[in-house]
Structure 1
Amino acid sequence: MPRFRLRVPAALLIAAVWAVLPAAPAAAAPESTAAFYAERLAEDPVYVSDHLAGPGVEQTRSGISAATARLDVPVHVIVAPALSEGYDVRPMLAAVHDRLGADGVYLAVTGDVSLQLTAAAYGVSVPGLEDAAVEASYLDAGPVRLVERTVDNVLSGEATARLERTQGAAEEENAAGAEEDTGPSPWEEFLAEFDTQGVVGRNNIGFVAGIALGAVAVLVGYPVVRGVRAARTPKADRS
């Protein structure tokens, strides 16, 4: 028993220690995040967090490097988990650029289950860059594919037109889904099965009524039968 009592405080102590330790750079305070990423990008223009890419960090980095090499401007890429839900990545990219002091395109692929790509250009002109990144973010894809799609959109010279088409298709899909969701509720479907205006409804009402009457007959008749049997049993014993 004494050993069991000591385990609970120990477990609580371990949990408290883990709670205060930083789990990953992406979980750091926002003001220190830009400094961390600037240091990583100074070492390599493509930083990939193993918290997002897992064991495929090198494969992800090489794939992104191959995609960004198609652009004629320097490109810096950050692939990392989102700091928090709804976090605006653009100020962070601006802070990273200021700390790194290198002009070019800055891309950030962030998120957890669903990834979002944010793009910004500093000191260089890349027409349609932001539209290219937004269009790519509609894809349900990994970091490499998102960057590849962004580069494809930029090089096509039709990034804005592609974004408009993608947004239109998404709106149509959402509208179709909304129409499906506006169907009758389960309760409304149940009531429709007993609509007296239809043949099916009247038949269902008759069927249920028959079952109900049968159940009533059983409930009423069973005590009567038991009473009759109980009345006969003493007579049989007396004979």
Structure 2
Amino acid sequence: LAAALSAVFPDGEDFFVRSVRHYRDQITDPELKRQVAGFIGQEAMHGRQHRAFNDRLDELGYPTKRFERLTKKGLALRQRYLPPVSNLAATAALEHFTATLAELVLSNEEVRNLFGNDEVRNLFLWHALEESEHKAVAFDVYKSVGGSERMRVWTMKALRFGFVVGMAFQIVVSLLGDRKTYRRGALRRSWRKVRRSPLLSKEVWDQLRDYDRRDFHPDDRDTTELVTRWREELFGEQGTLNDKLVTAAA
């Protein structure tokens, strides 16, 4: 799971940054300008952290670098042939995906335990916290530059299908490349775990589909309390990741 998600993040985050930055000079609201600056900084940091993580996974035999290259090529083609507003619509839609997954990571201990290793869990907690903090930025930029409702909704419908298929494919390839998968009963147990995962629950799917509402806004789901709690736990006075923040800043 961690490998499949992380494989798309480095170039996905770069794509988000380019899509939003393209419209930065058209934004007149000072508060949104400030939020865009924060968004760009956080996404750039996420990309670097996940690229380093993917390098480590590649050393362990996971096909993350292969999927990283495929993601990069696919997004480069999209940016080359589709108009900037379409790429911004895709960014806003995919930010809803990451915000939905982020809320699940922050609120559900079972999901956090799926990451197993403490370092991996901490990486995804950090990412989830910041995704929750800036979940509305790309959406607000899209609306502020006149993006249409039709494009917004249909972009999400297409990406919802593509994202699920892409993630499923990556998970299957990762499983088939793991020697443990071929032990008796291992594949069946892995499949059972995937089917029972909170990530595939009806609640998550309904939350993703909520984006299709005409009056939708990312802040309709108030995650302020969740963000405040984890900001204090990770980066407060006794925060468990303060040392990581100092290292990353350096």
Check whether TM > 0.5.
Answer: no
- What TM-score does the superposition give when structure 2 sets the normalisation length? 0.22
Q: Which has the higher contact order (CA 8 A, sep 6+)?
A: 2
More strand by share: 1
Task: Select the structure of larger CA radius of gyration.
Answer: 1
